[in-house]
Amino acid sequence: MNHLVAPSILAADFANLQRDIELVNNSEGDWFHFDVMDGRFVPNISFGFPLLKAVKKHATKPIDVHLMIVEPEKYIKEFAEGGAYSITVHYEVSPNLHRTVQAIKELGCKACVAINPHTTVSVLEDIVADLDMVLVMSVNPGFGAQKFIQHTYKKLADISALKAKYNPNLLIEVDGGVDNSNAHKLFNAGANVLVAGNSVFSAADPLAAISQLKHA
């Protein structure tokens, strides 16, 4: 399976957003990663439906929507209609997770579940067979430019074991502190998709930074 890179719009230059979208369009990146934060589940607020629709107008690659919000089931229809290719909800705020996953699929999107750094992989055992992707947070969600949590490698190994047992087509995504210093090790540990924000958009040459991650 080819490794995928998903540059995070959260780290883009919002004064030049169309320029940065075109940069990703013309790069070796595979997806746009679109973080939605509500100031409740995580201590920050980002963007919502209007910006997703604006990104969709210019993006030529799939948009990977990551909902870091409480009650995500209330909003998945609007994100699907706004142009999401995949929708990720957090295990920690989804008491009816199977129902939410099925609703995402019925809307024509890939269904994904994220877990925070403190959440054990074992909670995914009863849902992993129904998922298209698991997102492992390798920092505490809410802000960019955080230090990578080393225990992530152990979690990737544990999820890879669930993948082998229940869902061989599962994608495993990592988000937080990803850069060229750890990309190769993350891929070797079982990750398929790397989300990269500051390490791409703050680089002197963002296109080269994306290429290095792609070929790590």
Question: Which domain covers residue 199, as residue numbers?
Answer: 4-214
Whole-number pLDDT of residue 143: 65
Is residue 145 pLDDT above 70, yes or no? Answer: no
Number of domains in the chain: 1
35 is catalytic: yes
**Annotated catalytic residue within 35, 38, 64, 179:** 35
* Dihedral over Cα of 174, 177, 181, 182: its sign: negative
- Is residue 177 within 8 A of residue 149, CB to CB? The reply is yes
Is residue 176 pLDDT above 60, yes or no? Answer: yes
Mean pLDDT score, 129-146: 87
Whole-number pLDDT of residue 63: 98
DSSP letter assigned to residue 13: -
**Annotated catalytic residue within 20, 38, 175, 179:** 175
Residue 16 burial (10 A CB sphere; 0-12, 13-18, 19+): exposed
Mean pLDDT score, 80-96: 97
Q: Which two tokens stand for residue 81?
A: 């209609």
CATH of the domain at 80: 3.20.20.70
Whole-number pLDDT of residue 139: 94
Tell me the pLDDT tens digit for each residue of 99-122. 999 999 999 999 999 999 999 999
Is residue 177 pLDDT above 80, yes or no? Answer: yes
20 is catalytic: no
Whole-number pLDDT of residue 141: 80
Q: How much is the mean pLDDT over the chain?
A: 95
Whole-prediction pTM: 0.95
Tell me the pLDDT tens digit for each residue of 10-61. 999 999 999 999 999 999 999 999 999 999 999 888 888 899 999 999 999 9
